[in-house]
């Protein structure tokens, strides 16, 4: 039984990595088999085809990102400290976001089932950011005039846009400038670069 679930897990993880690097079209069954190191029979034993496997891989990426979000926003610190922790999180900036990159993939966006893990993950992020912003306002850490949901959406967009700018320049500098600009706008002291 372990060998079977190991093959399934390797298929999901291999597909997840390929989606992150190449997108839907670049994630061919041949590339999946090569990356995962399992045979074709195993792939079709566990999954009805590429769309089923891609959905499982997307769900894994979504679960990982959502777990990371929850860990940050349910952890120690004030609302503002958790927002700062999210913004300053160590990331593989040039690779981009494993979930956010899928939002730019036409094949994924055109399919409701494939789009769902992406939408749900950003819903979780927006929820936690909104709560942290509201908490930070109540504690006097953030300007009371900020609209929490809109500010949360802006911060999420800033991180995702920062990835795109960094990839375009093949440098982490645009991402870091964007994050530090957001910290400046939020009035976070001592974060100048």
pTM of the model: 0.91
C-alpha distances (whole Å) from 79 to each of 2, 146, 149 are: 42, 14, 14
Among the residue ranges 5-14, 53-62, 116-125, 162-171, the one predicted with the least confidence is 5-14
Distance from the first to the final alpha carbon of the chain: 53
Give the start-to-end residue ranges of the domains of the chain.
58-186
Are the beta carbons of 58 and 108 closer than 8 angstroms?
yes
Q: What is the mean pLDDT of the chain?
A: 93
pLDDT digits (tens, 9 = 90+) for 54-111: 999 999 999 999 999 999 999 999 999 999 999 999 999 999 999 999 999 999 999 9
Q: Which residue has the tokens 């900036």?
A: 93
C-alpha distances (whole Å) from 98 to each of 41, 125, 142 are: 27, 14, 30
The domain defined by 58-186 folds into Tetracycline Repressor; domain 2 (1.10.357)
The stretch 111-139 carries a mean pLDDT of 97
How far is residue 141's CA from residue 128's CA, in Å, rounded to a whole number?
A: 17
Per-residue confidence (pLDDT) for residue 42, from 0 to 100: 83
Judge whether residue 193 has pLDDT over 60: no
């Amino acid at each position: 039984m372990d060998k079977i679930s190991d093959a399934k897990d390797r298929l999901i993880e291999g597909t997840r990595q390929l989606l992150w690097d190449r997108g839907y079209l670049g994630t061919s069954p041949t590339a999946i088999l090569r990356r995962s190191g399992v045979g074709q029979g195993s792939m079709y034993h566990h999954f009805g085809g590429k769309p089923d496997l891609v959905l499982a891989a997307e769900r894994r990426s979504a679960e990982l990102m959502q777990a990371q979000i929850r860990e940050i926003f349910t952890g120690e610190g004030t609302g503002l400290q958790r927002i700062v922790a999210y913004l300053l999180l160590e990331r593989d900036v040039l690779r981009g976001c494993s979930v956010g990159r899928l939002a730019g993939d036409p094949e994924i966006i055109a399919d409701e089932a494939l789009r769902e893990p992406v939408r749900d993950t950003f819903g979780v992020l927006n929820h936690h950011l909104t709560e942290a912003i509201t908490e930070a306002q109540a504690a006097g850490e953030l300007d009371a005039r900020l609209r929490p949901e809109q500010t949360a959406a802006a911060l999420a967009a800033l991180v995702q846009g920062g990835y795109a700018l960094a990839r375009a320049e093949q440098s982490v500098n645009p991402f870091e400038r964007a994050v530090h600009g957001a910290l400046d706008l939020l009035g976070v002291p001592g974060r100048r670069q």
